[in-house]
Amino acid sequence: MLLKTVLLLALVAQVLVLENGLLRKPPMGWLAWERFRCNTDCNEDPKNCISERLFMEMADRLAQDGWRELGYEYLNIDDCWIGGRDAKGNLVPDPKRFPNGMAFLADYAHSLGLKLGIYADMGNFTCMGYPGTTLDKVVQDAQTFAKWKVDMLKLDGCFSTPEERAEGYPKMAAALNATGRPIAFSCSWPAYEGGLPPKVNYTLLVDICNLWRNYDDIQDSWSSVLSILDWFVTHQDILQPVAGPGHWNDPDMLLIGNFGLSFEQARAQMALWTVLAAPLFMSTDLRTISAQNMDILQNPLMIKINQDPLGIQGRRILKEKSYIEVYMRPLASEASAIVFFSRRTDMPYPYRTSLARLNFTSSKVYECCAPPCRPRTSTRVTSSVASGIKPTSH
């Protein structure tokens, strides 16, 4: 009896803990959805439709414009790539839009030092109505993705029941593991269950997923950024502790370079996503992005903080009556990243604070490793980041 129990426990542990060693730092890259959605009209819009050409052109930009060196290495496909299933039930891409197939695209990404991510949906259909991955297809689809040499899978959750998702996501994690190919696993599961316990079991997600979408899809607007931020902050006591190397909360893509954010709002999203230890998935047209937006996304300090090896998610530590909020993220070497975030809608505001108010102990001497951005008189400042407040060594 005792032996049986021990064996059973060992089995359970083996089934559930599928640590694949990937994504020790938040993933960085490019994801098609927010900017290119489900544009499949390659006759009218050959440059921008979801197609091999779009992904190859983005791959070229990632490799040639300095992105890859900074860590933006994932080239991720989202919905609307699927053409159907072949006679054996294997997923196949749309033959017109992906004439050379997915293995070709993966090879192309790899030849440029990039990784390829793909999309599927745990359910009858993808969110846009393409063939889904039903429970009986989970293992087969995992094998297909591994055969193509895909490096990441985003598994969406449209057209399924909570019961099917509860079975399907762990099953996909096990199926990916069984392929033997390291494939990072991005789970949309919690977003379909409201994002919070008791419906969402974050202990389980940490075991089976490398990142997960907790909340609504981001849309190209500042109000969307704020609604996501508000939700993450409201629930930070639950969400902050579950993030760490290999398992991240995902507040969704960066909007920077698109149409909905001002320059200051774009900087603010970058700073906030950075302290939240969020995946940095751009979703913009890298062929036409402005130098200014490129500067935001390629800011070396932001990337360094986002990729900090401790992998601790930051928190909002202060919400002032003046509509200034302070966010703090602990970093390696006793450093801290601090974001001063203004929700004011009037004009630049001179915010004063002190180390004591931010709970930095007075028994140490601190150095400021990076100067805070100075408010400019011409624009309204939405955020400013002072990184690396750090005890001086002596």
Ligand X SMILES: *[C@@H]1O[C@H](CO)[C@@H](O)[C@H](O)[C@H]1NC(C)=O
Among 7, 10, 11, 17, binds ligand X (CB under 6 A): 17
Among 15, 139, 233, 318, binds ligand X (CB under 6 A): 318
160 binds ligand X (CB under 6 A): yes
Q: How far apart are the first and last CA of the chain?
A: 60
Between CA 297 and CA 263 the distance in angstroms is 12
Task: Give me the residue whose beta carbon is nearest to ligand X.
Answer: 20
User: Is the distance from CB of 30 to CB of 39 less than 8 angstroms?
Assistant: no
User: Is the distance from CB of 55 to CB of 75 less than 8 angstroms?
Assistant: yes
Among 104, 159, 222, 360, binds ligand X (CB under 6 A): 159
Among 90, 124, 221, 307, binds ligand X (CB under 6 A): 124
Please confirm, yes or no, whether 217 is among the known catalytic residues.
Answer: yes
Q: Cα angle vertex 219, ends 320, 384, to 5°?
A: 35
Q: Cβ–Cβ contacts within 10 Å for residue 177, how many? A: 19
Please confirm, yes or no, whether 65 is among the known catalytic residues.
Answer: no
Among 56, 294, 317, 370, binds ligand X (CB under 6 A): 317
Q: Cβ–Cβ contacts within 10 Å for residue 335, how many? A: 20
Residue placing its CB nearer to ligand X in the complex, 359 or 392: 359
Residue placing its CB nearer to ligand X in the complex, 30 or 202: 202
Strand partners, 315: 328
Among 16-24, 188-196, 229-237, 252-260, the segment contacting ligand X (CB under 6 A): 16-24
166 binds ligand X (CB under 6 A): no
392 binds ligand X (CB under 6 A): no
Residue 2 neighbours by CB under 8 Å, 6+ apart: none
Catalytic residue among 107, 217, 220, 285: 217
**DSSP string of 40-51, one letter each residue:** --TTT-TTTSSS
174 binds ligand X (CB under 6 A): no
Between CA 125 and CA 314 the distance in angstroms is 36
Binding footprint of ligand X on the chain (CB under 6 A): 16-21, 124, 159-161, 177, 180-182, 201, 203-204, 207, 317-318, 358-359
